[in-house]
A and B are shown apart, each in its own frame.
Chain A
Amino acid sequence: MSPSTPILRTEHLSRVADGRPIVDSISLAVAQAEVLAIVGPSGSGKSSFLRLLNRLDEPTAGTCFIEGRDYREIPPRALRQRVGMVLQTCFLFPGTVADNIRFGPLQRGEKLTDAVVSQLLEQVALGGFSGRTVANLSGGEAQRVAIARALANNPEILLLDEPTSALDDSIKREIESLLHQIVIAHRLTCIIVTHDTAQAVRFAQRVAILDKGRLTRIGSPEEVFGARQSS
């Protein structure tokens, strides 16, 4: 069942690379403040689908609508500011934590004040880290900075590409719980890619299963995983 007022809707979204379909005609809709988890085995096209939503890659067929508008009509930079993304590997820029937090808004000529930077860092439990050099951060700290950096753009939709898969188990749950709090507090629409079905159940209101680039099932975690278990 599709949400009645989708903020994001894909229509036969597809991508073919090297003659092989990696995202195959996916149509789905996500409502405002909804959390959707994309689950599937390695190579199922989860991350490729997410990259299409941020338009880091170009669809070879179909399109995506943001609040009813074809996203190809939105300038790419404006689109990416509205549709934030946190990658599996955080790829921080050389410099301080504050430099990284300020990066997104600075692209639009907006310099965040020290107070705003501190506030963003406190949201990810990194108060006092502003002046630290990113080279000295642990994996968990770096991923928190990447999350705060994405939030600094004030996105309407947050795309999370396996945000905890590169982290130790002990830190995984901590980051996941932090993300959950942030998504709820900001009423963010969120699409998270994960291969961890337990994480999808904990985190999302709906789950979409991808296999070989195709959407095979979508619904509440109970509907999707219940149905899989009984089949």
Chain B
Amino acid sequence: MLDNLLNSQVRLGLTQSGFAALATIAVVTLARRRHIYLERETLMALIRGLTQIMIIGSILVLMLRAPRWTSIMMLAAMTMAAAATSARRAKRIPGAFPVSLYAIAGGAGCVIALMAWAGVIGTAITALVPVGSMLIANAMNANGLALDRFRSEIVAHTGQIEAGLALGAAPQQTVVPYVQAAYQASLIPAIDNLRSLGIVWIPGLMAGMVLSGSPPLYAAMYQFVVLAMIFASSGLTCLISTTLIRERAFSAAEQLVLH
């Protein structure tokens, strides 16, 4: 085990991580000159990100021999962590954690299950966990954007919403344009990723597949498959989260409580 950890590839990986982190620190330093202070948050994110991904890598090494059902446990744990991260981003929204949990589990979970059943994602741990985690992570980002945008829209249009309520409108009716705006905003990254695929960027999964010896054309097509799945899982996640959060914006007496 120790031999594996200390082999030259790990040392190379750590050196490369160090250089990549230096680039990040350089950007943070530039931002500081404009009085934008991101040092603490960025440093914590770098340390956390590297530690977490190394733990996952080590767990994957151990899990190569584990039974297949353990991948479901892993994806469930990732979903919980994703919901907690999303909820932290939207902490001013009441019930952000359960909403995020149901949305990510429903959105990403459905797409993962369906695609695994159809054979698009392999059911081996080494395929299901990395691809599943990509879908969960992107669903988490989209969900965070949707919740944040929804709250901003509600705060900016409180008067309009209450004018509608005062005229006897159903609460859901008064927030229709804001739900639409939040949903559209949350899907912009997924749409842009699909739109610019191959022109602006060659994503990591495709690069990894090519480096590990897969035919480039198949790697390219599979990258498209993954991005399409990301779009589907993010879209479904945000559909669920905006529906749930819309209900929580109002009290039982149909008063706007999200300010």
Closest B residue to A150 using CB positions: B167
Q: Are A93 and B160 in contact (CB under 8 A)?
A: yes
Query: Which residues of chain A have C-beta atoms less than 8 A from B160's C-beta?
Result: 91, 93
Contact A80 to B166, CB < 8 A, known contacts A87-B159, A91-B160, A107-B173 = yes
Interface string of B244-259 (1 = CB under 8 A from A): 0000000101111000
Residues facing A in B159-191 (CB within 8 A) are 159-160, 162-170, 173
Contact A55 to B255, CB < 8 A, known contacts A91-B159, A107-B173 = yes
What is the bound-complex CA distance between A58 and B166, given in angstroms? 14
Give the Cβ gap from A191 to chain B, nearest Cβ, in Å: 14
Query: Which residues of chain A have C-beta atoms less than 8 A from B173's C-beta?
Result: 107
Q: Are B167 and A107 in contact (CB under 8 A)?
A: yes
The size of the chain A interface, using a CB distance under 8 A, is 27
Q: Is A32 an interface residue (CB 8 A)?
A: no
Q: Are B162 and A104 in contact (CB under 8 A)?
A: no
Residues facing B in A56-96 (CB within 8 A) are 56-58, 72, 76-78, 80-81, 84-85, 87, 89-93
What is the bound-complex CA distance between A58 and B165, given in angstroms? 14
Q: Are A85 and B166 in contact (CB under 8 A)?
A: yes
Q: Are B255 and A56 in contact (CB under 8 A)?
A: yes
What is the bound-complex CA distance between A39 and B229, given in angstroms? 60
The size of the chain B interface, using a CB distance under 8 A, is 17
Closest B residue to A90 using CB positions: B163
Q: Are A56 and B170 in contact (CB under 8 A)?
A: no
Q: Are B159 and A77 in contact (CB under 8 A)?
A: no
Contact A77 to B251, CB < 8 A, known contacts A89-B159, A107-B173 = no
Interface string of B150-164 (1 = CB under 8 A from A): 000000000110111
Interface string of A81-119 (1 = CB under 8 A from B): 100110101111100000000011001100000000000
Give the Cβ gap from A3 to chain B, nearest Cβ, in Å: 25
Interface residue from B163, B168, B255 paired with A107 (Cβ < 8 Å): B168
Give the Cβ gap from B163 to chain A, nearest Cβ, in Å: 4
Q: Are B164 and A103 in contact (CB under 8 A)?
A: yes
Q: Is A153 an interface residue (CB 8 A)?
A: yes
What is the bound-complex CA distance between A84 and B165, given in angstroms? 10
Q: Are A56 and B166 in contact (CB under 8 A)?
A: yes
Contact A77 to B162, CB < 8 A, known contacts A55-B255, A57-B255, A58-B255 = no
Query: Which residues of chain A have C-beta atoms less than 8 A from B166's C-beta?
Result: 54, 56, 80, 84-85, 87, 150
What is the bound-complex CA distance between A84 and B170, given in angstroms? 15
Q: Is A149 an interface residue (CB 8 A)?
A: yes
Q: Are B253 and A81 in contact (CB under 8 A)?
A: no
Give the Cβ gap from A71 to chain B, nearest Cβ, in Å: 10
What is the bound-complex CA distance between A78 and B159, given in angstroms? 20
Interface residue from B168, B170, B251 paired with A104 (Cβ < 8 Å): B168
Query: Which residues of chain B have C-beta atoms less than 8 A from A149's C-beta?
Result: 167
Closest B residue to A79 using CB positions: B168
Query: Which residues of chain B have C-beta atoms less than 8 A from A58's C-beta?
Result: 251, 253, 255
What is the bound-complex CA distance between A57 and B166, given in angstroms? 11
Residues facing A in B206-259 (CB within 8 A) are 251, 253-256
What is the bound-complex CA distance between A89 and B159, given in angstroms? 8
Contact A87 to B162, CB < 8 A, known contacts A57-B255, A58-B255 = yes
Interface residue from B163, B254, B256 paired with A77 (Cβ < 8 Å): B254
Query: Which residues of chain A have C-beta atoms less than 8 A from B169's C-beta?
Result: 77, 103-104, 107
What is the bound-complex CA distance between A89 and B166, given in angstroms? 13
Query: Which residues of chain A have C-beta atoms less than 8 A from B253's C-beta?
Result: 55, 58, 72, 76
What is the bound-complex CA distance between A107 and B254, given in angstroms? 14
Which 9 pairs between the two chains have the least Cβ-Cβ distance? Answer: A91-B163, A81-B168, A104-B167, A76-B254, A85-B166, A91-B159, A80-B168, A77-B168, A91-B160
Additional A-B contacts beyond A77-B169, A103-B169 (9; CB < 8 A) = A58-B255, A76-B254, A76-B255, A77-B254, A78-B168, A80-B166, A87-B162, A90-B163, A149-B167
Residues of B with Cβ closer than 8 Å to A?
159-160, 162-170, 173, 251, 253-256
| 25 pairs, A vs B, C-beta closer than 8 Å | A54-B166, A56-B162, A56-B166, A57-B255, A58-B255, A76-B165, A76-B255, A77-B254, A78-B168, A80-B166, A80-B167, A80-B168, A84-B166, A87-B162, A89-B159, A90-B163, A91-B160, A91-B163, A93-B163, A103-B164, A103-B167, A107-B168, A108-B168, A150-B166, A150-B167
